[in-house]
Amino acid sequence: MTIHFYKYQGTGNDFIMVDNRKKVIDLNNISQESIENICDRHMGIGADGFILLNEKEGYDFEMGYYNSDGNLSTMCGNGGRCLVAFAKHLDIITDSAHFLAIDGEHHATIHNNIVSLEMKDVENIKSFETFYQLDTGSPHYVSFVDDVEDINVAQDGELIRNSPMFKEEGINVNFVQENNDSSLYVRTYERGVEDETLSCGTGVTACALVQMQRKNIDSVHIETLGGDLTVSATMEGKTFTNVLLQGTATFVFEGHIDL
């Protein structure tokens, strides 16, 4: 089977996109191994994830997201932002989108290549002695450190992700350096990729919400290895609503590949 793909990246988090409105791909004709192979950076196209843009009644589209290991995954914030840019390229939307993902419905706006994506409400941030734990569409571990450059993210992230507390479900691991109250530098180990990525949308959202709770603020600028993002939210008691993840989403190239 030959598929027409598009590649997009959001602050270095890169994705292979397929317009699947005509159901070219379904679970019966693509395997986990096939997705893993095309996401491979040496033997395939190379990407952190694989995304299907599906039709869905009542929505502009539906997001089907797979990690680079080929497994169906939970929400991906940067992937969602890139999918909005892809939908605009396909003339499905103009400057706003209403779509369905695995964690529920999302709204987004796009102006030039800046996508602002509404994330799920977050109701519970668990605080432990050395880290925080929360779910922003995907589960996250957030640890504040003095200098993220001193952290071996791949090694330390893997140990935490596979620790007895998290091994069964898996968790994304974020190491956070506080530049000031409203600015953070974040590096993330992503489950499913099983390595550090240049950026993680649900991860920076998680880090920003923790910082908002710590400092009683409503917006945080995030620096990642792949670029800058902004997260804003409304804090009502211990619940965060109107959570917005904003940053660039950029077309890279398109082509065809045989599966």
Q: Which of 39, 76, 82, 207 is catalytic?
A: 76
Cα–Cα distance measured from residue 159 to residue 168, given in angstroms and rounded to the nearest whole number: 13
| CB 224 within 8 Å of CB 198 | yes
Task: Measure the CA angle with vertex 106, ends 23 and 17; round to 5°.
Answer: 40
E strands, the chain, are: 2-10, 13-19, 49-54, 61-67, 96-101, 104-111, 114-118, 126-127, 132-135, 139-144, 172-180, 183-190, 195-197, 219-224, 227-236, 239-248, 250-258
Cα–Cα distance measured from residue 160 to residue 44, given in angstroms and rounded to the nearest whole number: 29
200 is catalytic: yes
Helices within 18-164 (DSSP H only) = 32-39, 77-89, 153-161
Q: Which of 39, 82, 200, 207 is catalytic?
A: 200
76 is catalytic: yes
**Residues marked as catalytic:** 76, 200
